[in-house]
Amino acid sequence: MQGFKSRALAVACAIVLAGGIGVNAYAAPATPAASAPATRAAPAANPFFAPSTLPFGTPDFSKIKDSDYVPAMEAGMRRQLAEVDKIANNPAPATFENTIVAMEKTGQMLTRVMNVFSLYAGADTNPTLQKISEQEAPKLAAHQDAIFLNAKLFARIQRLYDERAKLKLDPESLRLLQYDHRQFVLNGAKLSKADQATLKQYNEKISTLTTQFGNKLIAASKDNALVVDSKADLAGLTPAQIEAAANAAKARGLKGKWVITLQNTTQQPDLAELKNRKIRHELYEHSWNRANHGAGDTRAIITEIAYLRAKKAKLLGYPDFAAWKLQDQMAKTPGAVMNFLDQLVPPAKARAAVEAQARQDMIDKDQKALGQPAFKLEPWDWEYYGQQVQKARYDIDQSEVKPYFELHNVLVNGVFYAATKLYGITFKQRTDLPTWNPDVLVYEVYNTDGKPLGLFYADYFKRDNKAGGAWMSDLVHPNTLLGQAPVIYNVANFAKPAAGQPALLSMDDVITMFHEFGHALNAFFADTRYPSLSGTNEPRDWVEFPSQFNEHWATYPEVFNHYAKNYKTGAPMPKALVEKLQKSRLFNKGYDMTELLEAALLDMSWHTLPASAPKVTDVAAFGQKALADNHILVPEVPPRYRSTYFLHIWGNGYAAGYYAYMWTQMLADDAYGWFQEHGGLTRANGDRFRQMILSRGNTVELNDLYKDWRGRAPNTSDMKKDRGLETK
């Protein structure tokens, strides 16, 4: 789900933080390699030294070479430091224009290269880029410190902040001044010189370790893919899935075998269909233990990161990392987060227990019919027997559903259609612009008046050199100060079909497409002056709100009926099947919420450790105790991410922030409730939401922004109803 773009000032943050926003967002670049980065390119030949001349300033991927990155990054850092030093040493008295606005304009070259590097490092990496990521991460961390810890620069900001009441700034400008001041203070601007030196050491170490974590994790996921020797062991998978597994094996040079690749979550999609329980168990164990052994072992890295984050928080005057991190979020404090999560634990567990019993009953019934003894439900059985329960209860077979969800049709007649109905924007595919991979689709987006709004790239298929999950980010960040229009991309990891076959999606995949495009809309509709406050440069417990809100339109009848059509015949999904899907809407919601809560509470347990606590030595035991202490240790329902492969919190900026997915579910469901109360999918409703929410970025206190639009503060009523968590 996220690692959003830093503002121009702070674009120098470690590579690992320059990722994207999404369901399981990209974080760190991939595995380190023995090869050194290619030799430096001459500035004249380097495409990053000047803005792109392509439409909307989109990068010319046909001209970018691996050898361009290091010289462009390092030149970009030098340029930005020179720009910042000029501001800091300006002999004229500090003004909002010559200090705050001037900072917004710094670092444009570094932004260009980092945007593209982050894209490739997450979506299409290679050994050279993996080496660069480790080489440059500590340099970028030091570069960020050089800005935030510039005493002369902070003195100018402090002076403006102290005099802010006299400056008569417009609301957005005042918000930017307050934002800048807070960011400098949170990043150590008020520390003593000695403490600043210590902070720099912490930041460089954390940056290096975070990058190493991401590198190890991509390697661990690749190395722990399940190799299957017999086609018979794949019983239950469709011919297309079996062919994809064969192709994955061929790509690895494993002739006569099949490979099931791993996604970044604990549960794996194929567990729902594999009939062989032994193979299911093996696949689950490969997922669960992927980062616990060998070259991909992340345990030492994450314990060190947690320890250093706690030390950093203490140095900055906070009891733990979460207390420091939440200062600029909607929740504000760890206590507020825990109070929110604690409300959800009992109903989620209760619903998951009912779901578990239904699966156990199905196991008992099946085993009795086979004349075999029953066995206890385990995590690797959950999805398989869930399919059977769903089929028995609702008569739904996923193989019957998928033919109605062909990827391109879902995109054009579902995702785009909903956006057009709500906001009046339109889309036209472009095939004349270079992309980073042949699978990538490009669309120009047009505003309601027919004028170009920006570009949208879609990279949906899984590759071994792509980070797991799905995410959104930008190549050009929208703002009016620099006159930049949005260039946005979505990335996912859907199974790529065999040549000539359609890409058929699950309902979960469809929801993912709507989710990530919700982030894109947040960026496309940005109507703000300053890059730092624009688009998706928002707190984590707000930035997932537009994306989760957009998920609702995937199942809205008018939208669903427009895209849910058989890829062979074009016939709409039969009414009986639609009704079955509607009746099964809350199926597995207890599991879904419980695995998210477990992950969020695991995150908070790591990041509320005080600096005085001993360094964790047993990661598995820590995880078990954290869940038990928070009353959510459910053996049949493992956390969505185990600590060792929890990409969000160790690799892409969601530390002490994974709760945001549930916090924003509350906002999204509450907001959808407003739409239902006011006529649903209408342009009037969409335009109001665009104007009052999606276009505003972080220009207003977000609690106030929501109240102004909704007419009241959000509550969990619609969330509990929509997620099946209502208590009787």
Q: Using the CB atoms, write b or e for 712-728: b if 16+ within 10 Å.
A: eebebebbbebbbbeee
Structural element, H or E, at residue 309: helix 299-315
Across the beta sheet with 487-494, the strand order is 426-429, 441-446, 452-461, 487-494, 471-476
Question: Residue 96: which of 172, 153, 19, 173 has the closest Cα?
Answer: 173
The tokens describing 217, both together, are 């994790």
The tokens describing 696, both together, are 């505003």
Question: Residue 206: which of 308, 297, 310, 121 has the closest Cα?
Answer: 308
Distance, in Å, from the CA atom of 213 to the CA atom of 225, rounded to the nearest integer, reads 18
Residue 577 is classified by DSSP as H
The tokens describing 584, both together, are 């099964």
Distance, in Å, from the CA atom of 138 to the CA atom of 120, rounded to the nearest integer, reads 19
Question: Residue 164: which of 155, 153, 173 has the closest Cα?
Answer: 173
Question: Residue 524: which of 457, 431, 610, 600 has the closest Cα?
Answer: 457
Give alpha helix (H) positions in 91-126: 102-104, 108-123
Measured between alpha carbons, how far apart are the two ends of the chain, in Å?
A: 33
Exposed / middle / buried, residue 168 (Cβ in 10 Å: 0-12, 13-18, 19+): exposed
The tokens describing 231, both together, are 């086609």
516 in catalytic set: yes
The tokens describing 315, both together, are 């140095």
Residue 475 has phi, psi (to 5 degrees) of -100, -30
Distance, in Å, from the CA atom of 613 to the CA atom of 312, rounded to the nearest integer, reads 14
Give alpha helix (H) positions in 22-104: 69-88, 102-104
Distance, in Å, from the CA atom of 466 to the CA atom of 459, rounded to the nearest integer, reads 10
Question: Residue 532: which of 147, 268, 162, 272 has the closest Cα?
Answer: 147
Rg (CA), the chain: 25
Q: Of these residues, 83, 516, 551, 598, which one is catalytic?
A: 516
Distance, in Å, from the CA atom of 563 to the CA atom of 578, rounded to the nearest integer, reads 12
Distance, in Å, from the CA atom of 314 to the CA atom of 610, rounded to the nearest integer, reads 8
387 contacts: CB under 8 Å, gap ≥ 6: 272, 273, 398
Hey, which residues are catalytic here? 516
